[in-house]
Structures are given as structure tokens and as C-alpha cells.
Amino acid sequence: MKYLDPRIEEMPRTEIEALQFKLLKTLVYRLYSFSDFYRSRMKEHNVHPDDIRSLDDIVKLPFMYKKDLRDNYPDGMFIGGQEDLVRYHVSSGTTGKPTVVGYTHRDLENWAISVARGLTSIGLGRRDVLQVSYGYGLFTGGLGLHYGAERMGATVVPASVGNTERQIELIQDLRVTAIACTPSYMLHLSEVAEKMGVSFERDTRLRTAVLGAEPWSEKMRARIEGSTGIKAYDIYGTSELSGPLFTECSEQNGIHIWGDLAYVEVIDPETGERLGPGEKGELVITMLQKEALPMMRYRIGDITSFEDSVCGCGRSHVRISRIQGRVDDMLIIRGINVFPSQIEHALMSVPELGEHFQIVVDRKGALDTMLVRVELKSAQLFSDKLDDLIRLKNKVAHQLRNNLNVAVDVELVSPETLTRFEGKAKRVIDRRVL
């Protein structure tokens, strides 16, 4: 089965946009009429639902933020009463209050459909056995994949997290063909399998992994696919939007955002202005059909870019790139937005370099300067000619300049000389006194 719902998935772009406009109008009137939060925010921004006369008029509407959800904890932003809800999920905030999400019956249905379309687009179907190794419970990962896979007609193994050896036995015994988990758990799983003498390729039917809920990279994808023979696909979503919602298709070239369910914008996080296809910025999503907890122009804080050309898989829906970082990590160097992930990406393409780097930002006079310190890869054959090292340094500087559009000083350092951090790398030292 190529499509779960060909009518929607192959819908020409103009028709999708017409549908989106209709849904947006309905949403805005509904919010203005029934939500104190949205009505007062729209009034603050001098915008009335009647002002939305085209899809592009969405830019007139105010943004909303994670902070709004916290300020209205637990259910101040819900529309309707508890009797309309059929489920709660709660995400534990790393800082401050958690976020509570409520679902109507229809919300759960749309969530499941969204995931089911995604799983279908990577070639899964009724003949597949999907092991869901995301946590079940208040976290949205487990149940999100669970209901999506069932909706598609696959057989679900609700394994949840932990007990890795048992998980590997289940994969063998139940002839599991696909797994959904975090990328780091996938790596762990393959390490444990190796220790048990189990080869996924030889001893199991596991060929597909749907990975998400934490940041990962193309490098990690190559590592997973290379060591296991399993095709790995990215899945995106956050609990505020419902949970995991959107996946890559078989092309592995961007995550399809179903246009009948969500409207995508990518904005400059500083100015709030909309960016064009391929331009990197902050993801803003409007959920067009969500009932219990609507999301209008929600600034998620994730960095991505969008592509609106028709995908190789035949689907017309907009794609976003793999999440490339958080807005909080963004640096502004001489007025240009720079993300540490871009630097990482540029450095990765130079084989002589190791994985660790550090960014030092300073200001000389009125001018920002950026220095990237990067470790050489250890145990490499290096030429002992200074000229070759200078050439390498210039190559790195050139590569960074091309990727960032900002001049960068480069310092090559020996392996294992930069400070290592537990968990999230604190790679940026900003010495500017602003």
C-alpha cells in the first residue's frame, strides 16, 4: 500500500492551501469565540478573525509560546470541558512546570491518522510487526506510535523501554519487522544484540527503525544503518502538538507535515519574519484541526528549514529538514544567525578533524569575531609539513565561511585537549560584553 489516504496525500498544493485556508478561518473564529487567552492576545495585536482573508494573512496573527502553556497550567488554554476529553498526557518540563495536553476523541483519531500515514510512507503496512520501544504512560511517544501503527493495520508489540535482552528475544520470536524508539536506544539495542551474538540482518526480520524524541544526526543514521542493516527514519513531534506526528518518507529527505492537519512556517527568530524554502530558522506550527488544546502559530523553538517542492515519493505535502538545534543555542555574529549545529555539520565534512570543537565569540571594537577551535582526529596519518597544516586550516575556515556566511578564525588543536562536558556539550564561549 503506497498511501494510507491517496486523496489527501496526493492532493495538489493549491487544493491543500485552499483547504488550509478554510480550516484556518474556522480555527481563528473558534479561538476568538471560545478562548479567553487567544481572544485577548488577538486584541492585543489588533487583529480580528475578519482580517484573515487569505492563507498568507496568518502572519497577522500573534505567536504563542511554551511559556503561555506554563503560565496557564494545567488546563487554562483548553477549549471545552473535561467531559469532552478522553485522555491527558503530561510532559515533564526540564525547567519549571510540566505541560498538560488534553485530547478529544477526534484529537486522538487525527494523531493516529498522522502517524499511520507516516508509517505507510516508509513502506510499512498490515504485514509488519512493529515493536514500540518508547515509554508508555504520561509520555506521548509510546501510545502515539502504538495507535498510529494499529490504525495502519500493523501488529504492535508494546514493549516500552528497558529489559533490552528481552526486547531482542521478542524481536526474534515475534518476527518483528520494525521498531520505534530513540536513536540512542537503537544504538544500545544493537550493542546488546551483538553481545548476545544476535545479528539483526542474519537472525531477525527487523529492517526498519522509526527514531525520534531526541536530537540525532545524519552521522548517527549512517552509523545505525551501517552496523545493523536497518533503515532508520526520523520522526518529529512534541507533546503540545499531540506527540510524535510526522515522519520522513521512503526518500529519507525531509519530514512530511500533513497540510490538512498542520500549517508550517519557518521564521527568523529575531525578527519574527517568515523565511523562504531552504532558509534555516525557527519552526512555527499551527495545528489546523486540534480541538481540546489548539495551537496557533506555536513557536516550538526548534531550528529547521522547509521544502515545498513535490517529494520524490509523490506526496505534495511540505517537508521540514531534520531538527538542527534549538533557538536558545543560536548565536548572532555580525547580524547573521549562526547555529552550533551548522558548524558541527561543516566540520564533519573534513576527514582530518575529530568530533570535538569549541566556539569562542568575542568583540573587537565594534566587530564580532568568531573562533572555532577544533581537534584533529587522533591516530591519523598527518603530513609533518607546516604548509599542509596551514592548507588544512584554510580549508576548514573556507568550509565554515561557505556554510555560515561569516568569516571564522580556525585553531587546530591536538586530540583530547578541549574540555569534555557531561551531557549536552557547552561548546560556546561568548566573551562579548553587550
Partner 1 sequence: MTYTITQISIFAENRPGRLAAIAEALESENINILAFSIAEASGFGVIRALVDDPERAFKKLSSLGYVVSTTEVIGIKMHDRPGGLREISRMLGDAGINIEYAYAYTGRPNAVLIIRVDHVDEAINAILSKGGQLIQRTELA
Residues within the interface to partner 1 (CB under 8 A): 376-386, 389-390, 393, 411-417
From the list 52, 61, 159, 311, which residue makes contact with Zn ion (rule: CB under 5 A)? 311
Which is closer to Zn ion, CB of 264 or CB of 313?
313
Residue 235 as a binder of Zn ion (CB under 5 A): the answer is no
Alpha carbon 62 to its chain centroid, in Å, reads: 23
Which is closer to partner 1, CB of 14 or CB of 378?
378
Which is closer to partner 1, CB of 92 or CB of 417?
417
From the list 231, 290, 297, 315, which residue makes contact with Zn ion (rule: CB under 5 A)? 315
Output the smallest distance, CB 155 to Zn ion, in A. 25
Residues 6+ apart with CB under 8 A from 175: 129, 204, 205
Q: List, as own/partner pairs, every contact residues 111-114 make where C-beta atoms lie below 8 angstroms and the sequence separation is at least 24, other chains included.
A: 111/144, 111/147, 111/148, 111/242, 111/243, 111/245, 112/147, 112/148, 112/150, 112/151, 113/4, 113/5, 113/148, 113/151, 113/261, 114/148, 114/242, 114/245, 114/246, 114/258, 114/261
249 binds, among partner 1, Zn ion, none (CB under 5 to 8 A by kind): Zn ion
Output the smallest distance, CB 254 to Zn ion, in A. 7
Residue 338 near residue 331 (C-beta atoms within 8 A): yes
412 binds, among Zn ion, partner 1, none (CB under 5 to 8 A by kind): partner 1
Q: How far apart are CA 389 and CA 265, in angstroms?
A: 43
Output the smallest distance, CB 363 to partner 1, in A. 20
311 binds, among Zn ion, partner 1, none (CB under 5 to 8 A by kind): Zn ion
Q: How far apart are CA 149 and CA 144, in angstroms?
A: 9
From the list 296, 313, 331, 359, which residue makes contact with Zn ion (rule: CB under 5 A)? 313
Q: Which of residues 242-281 bind Zn ion (CB under 5 A)?
A: 249, 251
Output the smallest distance, CB 390 to partner 1, in A. 5
Map 277-345 to HEC letters.
Answer: CCCCEEEEEEECCCCCCCCCCEEEEEEECEECCCCCCCCCCCEECCCCCEHHHCEEECCEEECHHHHHH
Which is closer to Zn ion, CB of 41 or CB of 319?
319
Output the smallest distance, CB 429 to partner 1, in A. 16
Which is closer to Zn ion, CB of 16 or CB of 58?
16
Residues engaged in binding Zn ion (CB under 5 A): 249, 251, 311, 313, 315
